[in-house]
Amino acid sequence: MWPTDTLAPTPPAPPGPSVPPLPVASPAPAHRPAPSGGRFGPGTEVPGPYLTAGPTEPRPTEPRPAEPQPLVPRSVAPEPVGPLPADPRPAPPAARRRAHAAPLPRRRRSSCAPATTFEAALTDLAADGSTGALHGPGGAVHLAGGLVVHAEAPAAATVGHLLTGAGRITVREWEDSLLLGAGRLAEYLVAGGLVGPGELELARLAATLDGAQDALAQHDGELRFDPAAEPAFRLARPLSVLELRGAVGRRRSLLDGCWPSAELDRAPLRATGAAPTRRTAVPHRRRQALLAAADGTRTAPELARLLGRSTYGTLLDVRQLAAAGLLTAHRPAAVPDPPPAAVPQAALPDVLLPPAPRSYDSSDPEVGLLLRLRAALEAL
């Protein structure tokens, strides 16, 4: 179609940079020996399909970061790995070994540690399994085989006060029981049908806790242990010293929660007559009886004996009523001190004597002049 002379040969393309062929994934898993010094070591087969485009240059191995070594104090040597060498020194004889090689046990400090001298002495006696009574100025606790069977205090309510105050028996019946049931008072009361065994046990427990509340608080004074003392009443279920201290501690916590001051425990109480500032848990009948008896001359333990109630229950009501503004401690008016006696003046002597001669300083010119004048007048 075209003349041949019009067709010119196509000039060759200028040489350019050669482009390496693109790597193509092999369709079948190819296993090639890994290069020497590679990841899997020399001469090992590389698993799995890899891109095979030709011989690859081995990559330089990157240095791995050093693992942190545990810090070892200079004074403590690291434990050796492997068996320890035998000590060439001979073992010390048995007679020269220390008698206390093991550390001595240390006493653990806790909230149950004895807080007063009486508690510490009672705890030691209970640990020895003693039987008797530990007496102090403010109360006593009776033990039997290391267990508490009774406690009493001068200001605490007794079993007789609780039974007669509650109206279970009369005062005459109680006095007759003391005479006829000497040594077996509890058996006499139950056998005579005056009180029931459960009621008597409640009275004994209340009296024991009231007496222990005052006895355990003793920190000063002389303590005396009497191994031959026998209480008039014994608990049917004795208490351990730890149980007794725990019960007394809970009572003190309740009292401090109502009124944190112990000022009202021993001071005379009187009713304020004001309206209550807050509600209390004291029943109306019991509150009226307590306010009527608080005349400014009786303390809380005396009110408890008058009303036939336990000392702790009365203290709890007193503190609640004091927090509500219905009770207060009666402070007597301060009596002024008598005037100091007049110091008698010394009586004047019957004969007046001339005064003793006085010493003068003759170096003073005025004194010298006066002395010369007196001498001249005396010479006339």
Q: Is the pLDDT confidence value at 141 over 60?
A: yes
Instruction: Give the type of residue at 131.
Output: T
Mean pLDDT value of segment 224-248: 93
Tokens read off for 354:
């001339």
Among the residue ranges 10-14, 342-346, 371-375, the one predicted with the least confidence is 10-14
Express each pLDDT in 289-304 by its tens digit: 999 999 889 999 999 9
In this prediction the pTM is 0.58
> Which residue(s) pair with 140 in the sheet?
135, 152
- pLDDT of res. 139: 94
Residue 157's nearest CA partner among 269, 286, 313, 297 is: 313
- Name the DSSP letter for residue 373: H
> What is the spatial distance between Cα 348 and Cα 355, in angstroms, rounded to a whole number?
15
Q: Is 152 within 8 Å of 140 (Cβ atoms)? A: yes
Structure-token match 């399909």, residue found:
49
* DSSP H helices in the chain: 117-127, 159-165, 171-180, 185-191, 197-215, 241-258, 284-293, 300-307, 311-323, 365-379
Orientation of helix 284-293 relative to helix 300-307, angle to 10°: 120
Instruction: Give the type of residue at 185.
Output: L
Express each pLDDT in 314-361 by its tens digit: 999 999 999 999 999 877 655 566 666 655 666 655 555 555 555 556
> What is the spatial distance between Cα 256 and Cα 152, in angstroms, rounded to a whole number?
23
The C-alpha angle with vertex 218 and arms to 213 and 222, in degrees rounded to 5, equals 140
- Name the DSSP letter for residue 55: -
Q: What would the DSSP string read from start to end of 189-216?
A: HHHTTSS-HHHHHHHHHHHHHHHHHHHT
> What is the spatial distance between Cα 37 and Cα 35, in angstroms, rounded to a whole number?
6
Residue 320's nearest CA partner among 275, 253, 255 is: 255
> Kind and range of the H or E element at 133?
strand 132-136
* Percent share of the chain, pLDDT over 70: 62
- pLDDT of res. 281: 87
End-to-end CA distance of the chain: 196
Among the residue ranges 2-6, 235-239, 292-296, the one predicted with the least confidence is 2-6
Mean pLDDT value of segment 8-13: 53
Q: How many residues does the chain have?
A: 380
Q: Is 131 within 8 Å of 137 (Cβ atoms)? A: no
149 phi/psi in degrees, rounded to 5: -115, -20
| Cβ neighbours of 236 (radius 10 Å) | 13
Q: Is the pLDDT confidence value at 59 over 50?
A: yes
- Identify the three-state secondary structure at position 269: strand
Express each pLDDT in 166-219 by its tens digit: 888 888 988 888 888 777 888 889 888 889 999 999 999 999 999 999 999 998
Q: Is 264 within 8 Å of 300 (Cβ atoms)? A: yes
Q: Is 327 within 8 Å of 270 (Cβ atoms)? A: yes
Domains and CATH numbers, the chain: 117-255 (no CATH), 260-328 (1.10.10)
Distant-in-sequence contacts of 57-64, Cβ < 8 A, 24+ apart: 61/37
- pLDDT of res. 261: 79
- pLDDT of res. 364: 72
Mean per-residue pLDDT of the chain: 75
Residue 57's nearest CA partner among 76, 35, 77 is: 35
Express each pLDDT in 77-91 by its tens digit: 455 555 555 555 655
> What is the spatial distance between Cα 145 and Cα 113, in angstroms, rounded to a whole number?
21
